[in-house]
């Protein structure tokens, strides 16, 4: 009593105030607990949560257009797509060089397939375009060499564009081209390059300096070749032709003092004509001068798109806003609805089949119940593939069920039932597979229902049915709810069983996702479909947590 009489704080054994000592001990305990959890949490975050997030990001990510055609996209931004006029010549010019470079890196087909998801025909347009771009360049090469033979030598070009010692380097241009090649190659160019664009030449010949620098980055840093000895691509000749035939070139050349002035002067005085890029594209394919093509490119040129999500709900993004897809391509909404309806059916049949069994198990003496429980647990523990193959074997037209029906005489031998590769097959196999997930939660709830309530109801004059319906059933609802949500969550994401026994009519949305991942390679759409499915599942999971509580999940 004497300790409390002194008014100072209560002290721990080492002399610190008890309050502080306690909070320190709690902190240490907390830290220790977190340190035990940390390795696993880190592992799950990195190898599970992050990949899922990455997938969500992929459903809106659309940098491919901007990364493949950077200059075109920039130029196209100022074009009014709603009018009747084609994009200006500058857009066609940038498209030529962007596409040429993409074709050089074999990336144009990738962009073609991306745009093909939005408007069919784009894929072949880009594929063919990539092949036909060389010809105008070759023509330009012939024209230049005819004026001055020096333009036939690779060294001329290297000498012209390279910044010699003492000359200013156009660092902005070099950085921009490195970034561009990085985007195209999907990795950072790391090789060494003995080239840097000269600032004076790049201001005199902007287009060809840009094309040559991009070519030099590919040759030097991606292919690891010597830039000076590499053959310049055809696009350089066309770009040079464009630069020297531009009005006012002769005046600017007069002020220029650098390598190859004589050769350039010869070009300036030869009276060459500017290339007509619109005509070049028109020659390749009439579709290039179709307004629709450019509208599609413009609409989908943003870094992020809602296009995949719109596609996932059978709509599409058009220059005029969002609209519903034509009737023959509308399949996904129907598939979502079918997935939901079939999951509900499976859930319903699980309730119907599971309830009596759970009731029986909960009301039998423990000894008998344990034996019967094995019949529920054995399917639960058996491999999914085993159960699916068993159903495939049983449901076939020459399978066990049909044989038995024929043997009994219910079905004629020549009119065997079609039980597989349709919705019926999926529903019956999945009901069997998911039934234990319904029975187990129901059983654990029913075990807690006191049987005296039922007897009390009956002794008060209730009929069997009333007693069950008014007294027993309401108490068993939590079990039904838990089981139903569990079965529903599991079934809407099922892939294996529908794939094997579902044929074409009995498949789920997950089969479509798998198809887009492995066959059609439309990963953006797969990610968007996955995101929608995930949102539905998380919503249901949240309900499950509210009703049952995540801590009450039990196994076996």
Partner 1 sequence: MSLPIYATFGQRVWYYAFRVICALIFTFLITPILVVIPLSFNAENFFTFTPEMLSFDPEGYSLKHYRDFFSSNEWQRSFKNSMIIAPIATIISVCLGTLAAIGLSQSHVPFRRAIMAILISPMIVPLIISATGMFFFYSKIGNFMEDTMGLDRNLVGYIKVILAHAVLGIPFVIITVTATLVGFDRSLTRAAANMGANPVTTFFRVQMPLILPGVISGGLFAFITSFDEVVVVLFVGSASQKTLPWQMFTGLREQISPTILAVATILVGISILLLTTVELLRRRSERLRGLSPS
Task: Give the residue, chosen from 176, 228, 377, 405, that forms a contact with partner 1 under the rule CB under 8 A.
Answer: 377
DSSP H or E segment with residue 266: helix 261-269
For 122-143, give the secondary structure using H, E and C.
HHHHHHHHHHHCHHHHHHHHHH
Q: Considering only residues 453-482, where is the footprint of partner 1 by CB under 8 A? A: 464
Task: Give the residue, chosen from 17, 24, 48, 460, that forms a contact with partner 1 under the rule CB under 8 A.
Answer: 48
Q: Considering only residues 436-455, where is the footprint of partner 1 by CB under 8 A? A: 436
> Is 526 an interacting residue with respect to partner 1 (CB under 8 A)?
yes
Kindly state the DSSP code that residue 324 receives in the 8-state scheme. E
Binding part of the chain for partner 1, among 71-79, 207-215, 314-322, 535-543 by CB under 8 A, reads 535-543
User: How far, in Å, CA of 94 to CA of 1, rounded?
Assistant: 92
Task: Give the residue, chosen from 1, 85, 255, 555, that forms a contact with partner 1 under the rule CB under 8 A.
Answer: 555
> Is 541 an interacting residue with respect to partner 1 (CB under 8 A)?
yes
Residues 6 or more apart from 474 whose CB is under 8 A from it?
A: none
Task: Give the residue, chosen from 17, 19, 20, 54, that forms a contact with partner 1 under the rule CB under 8 A.
Answer: 54
Q: Which is nearer to partner 1, 246 or 416 (CB)?
A: 416
CB of 369 to partner 1, least distance (A): 10
> Is 391 an interacting residue with respect to partner 1 (CB under 8 A)?
yes
Q: Is residue 347 a contact partner of residue 492, using CB atoms and an 8 Å limit?
A: no
> Is 530 an interacting residue with respect to partner 1 (CB under 8 A)?
yes
Q: Which of 134, 73, 142, 128 is nearest to 100 (CA)?
A: 134
Q: Which is nearer to partner 1, 341 or 553 (CB)?
A: 553
Q: Is residue 90 a contact partner of residue 75, using CB atoms and an 8 Å limit?
A: yes
Task: Give the residue, chosen from 374, 408, 410, 412, that forms a contact with partner 1 under the rule CB under 8 A.
Answer: 374
> Is 64 an interacting residue with respect to partner 1 (CB under 8 A)?
no
Q: Which of 419, 389, 387 is nearest to 401 (CA)?
A: 419
User: How far, in Å, CA of 392 to CA of 419, rounded?
Assistant: 9
Task: Give the residue, chosen from 222, 239, 312, 435, that forms a contact with partner 1 under the rule CB under 8 A.
Answer: 435
Helices 366-381 and 332-363 pack at an angle, to 10 degrees, of 150
Paired sense of beta strands 321-324 and 315-318, if any: antiparallel
Look at residue 174 and give its three-state secondary structure.
Answer: helix
Q: Which long-range contacts (CB under 8 A, 24 or more apart) does 131-135 make?
A: 131/103, 132/283, 132/284, 133/96, 133/99, 133/100, 133/103, 133/234, 133/235, 133/284, 134/234
> Is 372 an interacting residue with respect to partner 1 (CB under 8 A)?
yes
> Is 406 an interacting residue with respect to partner 1 (CB under 8 A)?
no
Q: Which is nearer to partner 1, 172 or 552 (CB)?
A: 552
Q: Which is nearer to partner 1, 487 or 492 (CB)?
A: 492
Task: Give the residue, chosen from 11, 18, 22, 41, that forms a contact with partner 1 under the rule CB under 8 A.
Answer: 41
Q: Which is nearer to partner 1, 241 or 467 (CB)?
A: 467
> Is 320 an interacting residue with respect to partner 1 (CB under 8 A)?
no
Kindly state the DSSP code that residue 232 receives in the 8-state scheme. P
CB of 62 to partner 1, least distance (A): 16
User: How far, in Å, CA of 541 to CA of 553, rounded?
Assistant: 12
Task: Give the residue, chosen from 114, 499, 522, 525, that forms a contact with partner 1 under the rule CB under 8 A.
Answer: 499
User: How far, in Å, CA of 384 to CA of 86, rounded?
Assistant: 58
Binding part of the chain for partner 1, among 143-151, 229-237, 247-255, 430-438 by CB under 8 A, reads 430-438
> Is 78 an interacting residue with respect to partner 1 (CB under 8 A)?
no
CB of 2 to partner 1, least distance (A): 29
User: For the chain, how long is the longest CA-to-CA vector?
Assistant: 117
* Count of residues near partner 1 by CB under 8 A: 91
> Is 227 an interacting residue with respect to partner 1 (CB under 8 A)?
no
Task: Give the residue, chosen from 318, 325, 523, 543, that forms a contact with partner 1 under the rule CB under 8 A.
Answer: 523
User: How far, in Å, CA of 296 to CA of 290, rounded?
Assistant: 11
Q: Pattern 328-357, binding to partner 1, x per CB under 8 A? A: -------------------------x--xx
Rounded to the nearest 5 degrees, what angle is found at the Cα of 160, between the Cα atoms of 158 and 164? Answer: 85
User: How far, in Å, CA of 162 to CA of 187, rounded?
Assistant: 25
Task: Give the residue, chosen from 493, 502, 506, 524, that forms a contact with partner 1 under the rule CB under 8 A.
Answer: 493
The string of DSSP letters for 389-415 reads HHHHHHHSTTSHHHHHHHHHTSS-GGG
> Is 520 an interacting residue with respect to partner 1 (CB under 8 A)?
no
Task: Give the residue, chosen from 319, 399, 478, 481, that forms a contact with partner 1 under the rule CB under 8 A.
Answer: 399
Q: Which is nearer to partner 1, 289 or 543 (CB)?
A: 543
Q: Pattern 1-30, binding to partner 1, x per CB under 8 A? A: -------------------------x--xx
């Amino acid at each position: 009593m004497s300790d409390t009489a002194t008014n100072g704080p209560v002290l721990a054994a080492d002399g610190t105030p008890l309050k502080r000592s306690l909070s320190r001990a709690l902190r240490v305990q907390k830290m220790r607990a977190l340190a035990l959890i940390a390795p696993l949490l880190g592992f799950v975050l990195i190898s599970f949560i992050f990949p899922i997030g990455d997938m969500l990001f992929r459903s809106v990510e659309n940098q491919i257009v901007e990364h493949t055609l950077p200059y075109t996209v920039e130029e196209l931004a100022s074009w009014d797509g709603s009018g009747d006029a084609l994009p200006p010549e500058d857009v066609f010019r940038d498209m030529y060089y962007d596409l040429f470079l993409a074709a050089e890196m074999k990336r144009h087909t990738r962009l073609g397939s991306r745009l093909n998801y939005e408007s069919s025909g784009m894929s072949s347009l880009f594929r063919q375009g990539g092949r036909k771009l060389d010809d105008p360049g070759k023509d330009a090469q012939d024209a230049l060499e005819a004026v001055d033979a020096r333009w036939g030598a690779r060294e001329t070009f290297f000498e012209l564009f390279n910044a010699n010692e003492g000359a200013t380097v156009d660092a902005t241009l070099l950085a921009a081209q490195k970034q561009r090649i990085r985007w195209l190659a999907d990795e950072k160019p790391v090789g060494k390059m003995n080239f840097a664009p000269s600032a004076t030449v790049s201001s005199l010949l902007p287009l060809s300096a840009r094309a040559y620098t991009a070519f030099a980055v590919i040759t030097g840093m991606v292919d690891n070749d010597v830039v000076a000895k590499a053959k310049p691509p055809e696009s350089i000749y066309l770009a040079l032709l464009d630069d020297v035939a531009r009005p006012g070139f002769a005046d600017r050349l007069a002020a220029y003092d650098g390598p190859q002035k004589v050769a350039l002067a010869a070009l300036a005085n030869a009276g060459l004509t500017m290339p007509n890029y619109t005509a070049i594209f028109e020659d390749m394919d009439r579709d290039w001068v179709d307004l629709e093509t450019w509208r599609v490119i413009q609409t989908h040129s943003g870094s992020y798109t809602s296009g995949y999500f719109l596609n996932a709900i059978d709509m599409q993004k058009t220059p005029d806003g969002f609209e519903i897809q034509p009737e023959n391509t509308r399949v996904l909404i129907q598939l979502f609805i079918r997935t939901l309806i079939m999951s509900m059916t499976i859930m319903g049949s699980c309730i119907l089949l599971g309830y009596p069994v759970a009731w029986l198990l909960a009301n039998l003496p423990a000894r008998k119940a344990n034996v019967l429980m094995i019949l529920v647990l054995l399917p639960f523990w058996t491999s999914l593939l085993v159960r699916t193959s068993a159903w495939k074997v049983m449901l076939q037209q020459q399978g066990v069920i049909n044989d038995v029906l024929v043997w009994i005489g219910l079905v004629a031998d020549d009119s065997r039932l079609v039980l597989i590769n349709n919705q019926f097959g999926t529903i019956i196999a999945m009901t069997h597979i998911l039934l234990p997930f319904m029975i187990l939660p129901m059983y654990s709830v029913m075990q807690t229902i006191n049987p005296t309530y039922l007897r009390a109801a009956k002794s008060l004059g209730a009929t069997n049915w009333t007693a069950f319906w008014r007294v027993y059933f309401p108490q068993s609802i939590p079990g039904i709810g838990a089981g139903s949500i569990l079965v529903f969550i599991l079934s809407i994401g099922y892939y294996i069983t529908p794939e094997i026994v579902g044929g074409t009519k009995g498949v789920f949305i997950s089969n479509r996702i798998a198809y887009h991942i492995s066959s059609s390679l439309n990963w953006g759409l797969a990610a968007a479909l996955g995101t929608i499915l995930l949102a539905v599942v998380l919503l249901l999971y949240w309900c499950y947590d509210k009703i049952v509580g995540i801590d009450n999940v039990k196994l076996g």
